[in-house]
Structure 1
């Protein structure tokens, strides 16, 4: 598995590389120390996983996450940072991160997080999960959308506005498979359709959920109780 590491601290560059290279089948193909290098790398390098620090000397790792999701939508994105505040957590997830790990985590936690990502899961440090729950409960970032107006809606209206973004049965099938970690090419084979059709369904899902990536779609669908 090909990894790109976006980290400006030489100590953490070496530490992450040491952790990864002890795992058979994992290979670091590029290491970048700033946003400029990282943006160029995500356009020019083929990778399966990118590990991103948020605090870079010339900007935010969130810009790198967005670029990585745009240029290589099937790749996994693991945030590895010291920032555990809600603003950074929610922003990173909505930018397209599929996992969030604190740098202080033990080496075995790093390996477990990477393995989980490749298995189709979204590892989140327990200290981070509380922030995500808080964002969902308060409707931050588009999650848990509440209908406008002062009066409470009736049950049917609430179900439509909160939990029914209008996905078709086929789009729900695609969403459920994506949530389990299948790529769109694998989804196409599983559902006996062309990759072009599966991508079309994915675009429709993103539009209806008002998101821009696989990670955001899964996160939003989970918050709405769809998966």
Structure 2
């Protein structure tokens, strides 16, 4: 009997960068990733400096980065900053036991897209990871009030902030991001190259003083640019 090749293609292997020094928790996260529909390869580092060095030479962004703040050598904040500087749109989520207001704000300002507490159930953590993969970044409910409080205070006197001036192309790029479009779709809708969109995004991040797409959209709305 002759065998014919199948038309079905094996889904691509997705990449997770896990920076976590607790081997038991790292194993739980790895098991949780195996329970997701996609196939995942988990690249694990227990020290922040090793993770930073690896990210610095990585050729392409990871599909997801999970970072613990309490690492044995450097703060996870340093790892987040290194990841965000290398790849401006890579999903980065904190998973930590630290629940202080300063930690939440510092992580978000460094470029984290979400913040999940370790003392939540593994089911809730898995649900948070699934949200990230859908483009919805989680923030543990009891931490949300810190961020909202900070945003409300920072927006009390918008007249004191210097105005942000965007070029027409930057504004068009921003509108595409606000609609949830990928860089590729933004480039297609604008009739420009992907590298042009990436350059516009870097300029937007610099002008708005942000480190992530969600922060850019939020800040742009506070400036009434959208």
TM over 0.5: yes
Question: How far, CA to CA, are the matches of 1:17 and 1:111 in structure 2?
Answer: 10
Q: Match for residue 16 of structure 2?
A: 3
TM-score normalized by the length of structure 2: 0.82
Q: Match for residue 99 of structure 1?
A: 114
How many equivalent residue pairs? 211
1:174 aligns with 2:173: yes
Q: Match for residue 132 of structure 2?
A: 117
* 2:26 alignment partner, SS class: helix
Question: How far, CA to CA, are the matches of 1:27 and 1:162 in structure 2?
Answer: 44
Q: Match for residue 154 of structure 1?
A: none
Question: How far, CA to CA, are the matches of 1:177 and 1:112 in structure 2?
Answer: 27
Compare 103-112 and 47-56 and name the one that shifted more. 103-112
Q: Match for residue 152 of structure 1?
A: none
- Please give the per-residue CA displacement for 1:43-69, whole angstroms capped at 9, x wherever unaligned: 344521110001111111010011111
Return the offset for 1:222. Answer: 4.8
Q: Match for residue 85 of structure 1?
A: 100
Contact 1:177 1:187 survives alignment (8 Å): yes
Question: How far, CA to CA, are the matches of 2:146 and 2:206 in structure 1?
Answer: 25
Q: Match for residue 209 of structure 2?
A: 210
1:132-143 superposed matches below 5 A: 132-139=147-154
Q: Match for residue 190 of structure 2?
A: 191
Is the alpha carbon distance of 1:135 and 1:20 closer, same or farther for their aligned partners in structure 2, counting shifts above 3 Å?
same
Q: What stretches of structure 1 of length at least 5 have no aligned partner?
A: 148-157
* 2:119 alignment partner, SS class: coil
Q: Match for residue 78 of structure 2?
A: 63
1:31 aligns with 2:44: yes
Is the alpha carbon distance of 1:25 and 1:175 closer, same or farther for their aligned partners in structure 2, counting shifts above 3 Å?
same
TM-score normalized by the length of structure 1: 0.81
Larger radius of gyration: 2
Question: How far, CA to CA, are the matches of 2:224 and 2:119 in structure 1?
Answer: 32
* 1:55 alignment partner, SS class: coil
Is the alpha carbon distance of 1:122 and 1:168 closer, same or farther for their aligned partners in structure 2, counting shifts above 3 Å?
farther
Question: How far, CA to CA, are the matches of 1:162 and 1:16 in structure 2?
Answer: 42
* 1:56 alignment partner, SS class: coil
C-alpha RMSD of the superposition: 2.4
